[in-house]
Amino acid sequence: MPTFNQLIHHGREEKRRTDRTRALDQEKTTAETDRLGLAGAGSFKSINFVQSISEEDEQCSRKKNINFVHVLLIKKKTFVTVTDAKGNKKTGASAGCLEERKGRSRLSRYAAEATAEHVGRSARKMGLKSVVMKVKGSTFFRKKKKVILSWREGFSR
């Protein structure tokens, strides 16, 4: 069993080894920057060449233009919202916002479909080309499916 002094000195040796490997890693990264021709650019964190390449890429630019349709279906409430990729709300409605659905009729199962169709029409008027739909809620899939199809119908007409 090693003594206390041996344990202390053993820890110092490991620290020296890790310091040496850090120095070697630093030399490797500087050699890598020299090889790539980026020697005067500083560290890799300050280089934005990956960002500039991704901005030129067509697929990455498409991802910035994505719009989301968030549908929240709860037992007695329905919320449909259209947002951009950053989460900023563009348009939205709930079952209570519809003029033809007031009182107990806004709690019916058709209110969710009417709300989704209304938001689909307003999204089409805004000029949206394509959307990604996210559906949440504690209802059966049949109701969710009807809401998705009615949103599509309002968006396509």
Identify whether residues 70 and 102 lie together within a single domain.
yes
Q: What angle do CA 87, 92, 93 make, to 5 degrees?
A: 145
List of residues 6+ apart from 48 with CB closer than 8 A? none
Range of 35's domain? 4-47
Please state the pTM of the whole predicted model: 0.57
Worst-scoring range by mean pLDDT, 11-25, 115-129, 133-147?
11-25
Q: In what order do the strands lie in the sheet with 67-73?
A: 89-94, 78-84, 67-73, 131-137
pLDDT of amino acid 16? 59
Contact 150, 87 (CB under 8 A): no
Domain count, the chain: 2
Query: Can you give the CATH number for the domain in which 91 is found?
Result: 3.30.420.80
Residue whose C-alpha is closest to residue 139's, from 92, 102, 107: 107
Q: Which residue has the higher pLDDT, 4 or 45?
A: 4
Is residue 83 pLDDT above 90, yes or no? yes
